[in-house]
Amino acid sequence: MIRASIVGASGYAGGEVLRLLLGHPHVEVGQVTSERYTGQFVHAVHPNLRGCTGQPPLKFSSINQLEPCDLLFLGLPHGQAMERIDEFSQMATKVIDLSADFRLRNPSDYLRWYGREHSAPAWLERFTYGLPEVHREDITGADYVSGVGCNATVTILAVWPLFLADLVDRER
Active site residues: 150
124 vs 12, 34, 103, CA distance in Å? 24, 26, 8
Count CB neighbours of 79 within 10 A: 16
Residues 63/31, Cβ–Cβ less than 8 Å: no
CA angle 24, 95, 68 (to 5 degrees): 85
